[in-house]
Structure 1
């Protein structure tokens, strides 16, 4: 299908390497470099699509494609609220998408689903067995795939505890606050079948430190250190940001740095979060409100570096 007319504006790079990549609603962007040499980004439902897709030849200039990556639904999900997709390529060349879909059995709450395609743009065919639900704890959202140095596949995701909270900020600002843990699940080589028990690797801290939640996990290994990137606070809050924790073992313990990699006010950003960092450690996509009306979240591109246990936008 042909690209739509929506693409990135003329690029004026800011001093620290951040610029708007898509001036349209494209929340929770993830990305990969596909076998054809192009970069593909995947976003939460918007612009009339369940799962959005954008492409780039250089990671700087992006074009939103007129493609529905998930044209069919699984038996367990409704046709509403498809959040935070992430795509990996398997050893057999096929592409696996992890995404959050609303569960028919508990409306307003989500499971992590999987879908497989021959091409990075789809069509992705969903499995009728969700990877994780945990509906009694609020549901499962924000999946992100990871391949360790030995080739073992994992997925990290958030248990959506704030969806069963007691009200207030992101429904979890009123005591007692509910846990919103980040979980690590080992997978079989097919990238969709769980292997062994799920391990908790992070959780929200105090309300002062993390707000009502931690979410949007993204895991990578860089020079022997595991970096777990995540967002804190509510996505509508100016305090929403991207932070990271590190560990020497994939299962942790992970030590929070409590350093804000992105924050409101820098480079004109508003509530910047929901990030995905390249496994190479030199580039990142994230979203922020497009303007003060806060009706759309645009996609931003950042150049970055990882040195030791430190991450920085450059």
Structure 2
């Protein structure tokens, strides 16, 4: 079998990515009402973020710019500075030194921070596990020390990627992540465009107060269907009012159809109902393949990536949630 392409690699994207030049012309340059803005003008894909105890924001990105995990800082969520700091200077024994994707960070009750990320498994290269690392101090930017064991692998199903932490109203903690079924697909679009298509379910794992000890088994809360193309990925869960919003991306990240959508539920475990609406898509605000979004638990701001040339820059947006409708403001 031909080798599975790295589905998060910018170099692979450059080789395959072919969109209209009118869309690729330039990233957003001027912030306008109701429009997202260019927050990090550098290769900074799959952004997750957390607010420190002092109110400062920290964003974390997939490997790039010579770092295993990247970090940026902002006082106001508008202007961001990419820090010359390695968030994850040491690795666990189960992972290789390449492909650290889609980091997310939460602040625990004890003031320490927990970093979730996707790392390549030594036992099955090109496939990934969800790793966990704990901050050495109460500095959100790290460094972080990895736990010896991953939170989830599921390598027989393709692996586990795209973790995101969630704190429920009763104080319970969860991690949502994607089972990377397309990594063992039959080829085609994102390696999952040839029938029979593999499932790429989103799972919800309850964890203890430490942020990483599993409590019970993970439960499936979403999966792809024909409207999603080869996959769903990049899950991010928030609670707004009495409704759970699960944000996610569909299609391949190199595809013009890549986007951000959401599903809603009245219970943490679902059922989640897809709205079918696209929060942001190619062509909106001159963006190309926007996705990998993370929404603040407060529901009023968001980071996501989009192509800026052959790289993926990070964009920020203000949000409004009314009922089950979400829009940029």
TM more than 0.5: yes
Residue 240 (structure 2) pairs with residue 225 (structure 1): no
Q: CA deviation at 1:310?
A: 1.1
CA distance in 1, matches of 2:103, 2:225: 26
Q: Is the 8 A contact 1:14 1:267 kept in 2?
A: no
Q: CA deviation at 1:17?
A: 2.8
CA distance in 1, matches of 2:161, 2:28: 34
Q: CA deviation at 1:36?
A: 2.2
| Aligned counterpart for 2:189 among listed residues 169, 172, 177 | 169
Q: Identify if the C-alpha distance between structure 1 residues 59 and 11 changes in structure 2 by more than 3 Å, giving closer, same or farther.
A: farther
Q: CA deviation at 1:32?
A: 1.0
Match of 2:229? 211
Q: What is the root-mean-square deviation in Å for CA atoms of aligned residues?
A: 1.1
If the length of structure 1 is used for normalisation, what is the TM-score?
A: 0.94
Match of 2:154? 134
| Aligned counterpart for 2:35 among listed residues 17, 35, 60 | 17
CA distance in 1, matches of 2:225, 2:91: 36
Residue 316 (structure 2) pairs with residue 301 (structure 1): yes
CA distance in 1, matches of 2:244, 2:84: 36
Residue 207 (structure 2) pairs with residue 187 (structure 1): yes
Residue 169 (structure 2) pairs with residue 149 (structure 1): yes
Q: CA deviation at 1:10?
A: 10
Q: Is the 8 A contact 2:192 2:230 kept in 1?
A: yes
Q: CA deviation at 1:267?
A: 0.7
CA distance in 1, matches of 2:301, 2:286: 19
If the length of structure 2 is used for normalisation, what is the TM-score?
A: 0.90
Q: CA deviation at 1:16?
A: 1.7
CA distance in 1, matches of 2:65, 2:266: 41
Residue 106 (structure 2) pairs with residue 91 (structure 1): no
| Aligned counterpart for 2:299 among listed residues 277, 281, 284 | 281
CA distance in 1, matches of 2:281, 2:125: 33
Q: CA deviation at 1:266?
A: 1.0
Question: Can you list the C-alpha shifts for 1:51-79, whole angstroms capped at 9, x where unaligned?
Answer: 00000000000000000000000010000
Q: Is the 8 A contact 1:111 1:139 kept in 2?
A: yes
CA distance in 2, matches of 1:236, 1:187: 33
The alignment partner of 2:49 has SS state of: strand
CA distance in 2, matches of 1:302, 1:285: 7
Write out the 4+ residue segments of structure 1 that deviate beyond 4 Å after TM superposition: none
Q: CA deviation at 1:14?
A: 2.4
